[in-house]
Amino acid sequence: MRDGKMADNIVEPCESNPPGSVNDLSEETKKEADEFKEKANEYFKKKDYSQAITFYCEAIKLNPTVAAYYGNRSFAYLKTECFGYALTDASHALELDKTYLKAYYRRASANMALGKFKLALRDFEAVMKARPGDKDAQAKYTECSKIVRRLAFEKAIAVDDGKKSIADQINLESMSIEDDYSGPTLEDTSVTLNFMKHLMETFKSQKCLHRKYAYQILLDAKKLFANQSSLVDITVPEGKKFTVCGDIHGQFYDLMNIFDLNGLPSECNPYLFNGDFVDRGSFSVECIFTLLGFKLLYPNHFFMSRGNHESITMNQMYGFEGEVKSKFSQQMCELFTEVFQLLPLCHCINNKILVMHGGLFSDDTVTLDDIRKVERNKQPPETGIMCELLWSDPQPQCGRSPSKRGVGIQFGPDITKRFLQRNRLDYVIRSHEVKQDGYEVAHDGKCITVFSAPNYCDTMGNKGAFVTLTGGELKPNYTTYEAVVSSICVTVSCRRPHL
């Protein structure tokens, strides 16, 4: 599958002419275009990718015949995770120059992010043939080839009805607690408030939860989520507070800051975390066990929605699988997959606010009942309601557009208005996108984005935010905050574009 974060104000691909259509450019025009490219490169070096894209666009407008302009803009789109745009630009570059090897890398990286591993493998193979001594190309080809073979093997042996659940293979009784273990312990296999407080202090000290308790939490969480609908209804009583948080992405210390600012979850202080709990940050394991622990402690007052990162491919590409293997085991990775597949897809607050990770739909007729009927116990499909709930984004103009991510759609204010009217809702809250202030209000106040991971990936410089509502009027209030500690952006080598 694909990733999902983008900076604000991303410029769409733009050319005044199709690639290669201009043959009689003056030297002055070529020089001016190259100056824009150099300016874009300077912004790229400063990690201001949005501004870099703006100037690459200007260069392309003046001279749409240079493959490197598209290749560079493709790289900037990869950095802002607009994989659909990155793929298009890399292909344009190759239309102009079949020997431009960097474009093969860009296109392969975009296809990897889109889960199109066979296409990515083809491009890595092209680079390897052109540069047989290139160790980086060989490594990427080998890694991508392993993924393709593994997926083919899994498909060959898959027997849907007979496949045994990982959860059924876990034997907790065989797991002993070492005498020197000093971390939190479950009380009669149950999560308590004391356990959660001890757990958070343990994680703050960068110590580990014992694997027996980790497995117990996952097994209990799986049972709990299995009994929920794809759309969960939430009631917030008159005058009571309710908090909605966006993406956390493994930024554990920023998660702790949310609780410092807004209070620990409790029956009197309920929360909804709106997907993308893991990947990217270095402490995804700590984040997910903290959230699942609170879910078990307060099942009717703590809620979790699935994000696009709660999927196998995303976890393989963006760090979570590697982190779980390092801290626990491959078996636990597979159990996480079973838990993630049962996470609800969205929540409806007081029959007035729909909260989902991504956005709205390519079909105007979708109702809340349609969402409730979605079979979610699977990996996200490429199209349809589940896909769009996890992947879609708002756009300022009316109508619908292809997604800059390469999956889902972009939907305008008219689409939001019709959906709300059809389903008798007041507004939607979604996450999925970096916003400079941690939140954004769009579509005449009817579409709110909240993103709770400040200074995302240690590069974006954004604030984090959460939304608080009060039962009754349900007016959104916003709290913003800066990052409290730097965290490492975890990636896998196969997705790093070649420089």
**Catalytic site residues?**
309
- CA gap 319, 325 in Å, rounded: 10
CB-based burial of residue 474 (10 Å sphere; 0-12 exposed, 13-18 middle, 19+ buried)? middle
| DSSP result, 282-328 | TTHHHHHHHHHHHHHHSTTTEEE---TTSSHHHHHHSSHHHHHHHHS
- Residue 164's Cβ-side half-sphere holds a number of Cα atoms within 13 Å equal to 5
Instruction: Count CB neighbours of 89 within 10 A.
Output: 31
Conformational region of residue 351, where left means phi above 0, alpha means psi within -120 to 50, and beta covers everything else: left
Cα end-to-end distance, the chain, whole Å: 24
- CA gap 329, 282 in Å, rounded: 17
- CA gap 153, 115 in Å, rounded: 16
Within 8 A by CB and 6+ apart from 368, the residues are 231, 348, 354, 423
- CA gap 386, 403 in Å, rounded: 15
Query: Cα 7 to the chain's mean position, in Å?
Result: 13
List C-alpha distances in Å: 357 to 114, 225, 232, 275, 388: 18, 17, 14, 6, 9
The sign one gets for the Cα dihedral 402, 405, 408, 413 is negative
| DSSP result, 74-133 | HHHHHHTT-HHHHHHHHHHHHHH-TT-HHHHHHHHHHHHHTT-HHHHHHHHHHHHHH-TT
CB-based burial of residue 30 (10 Å sphere; 0-12 exposed, 13-18 middle, 19+ buried)? middle
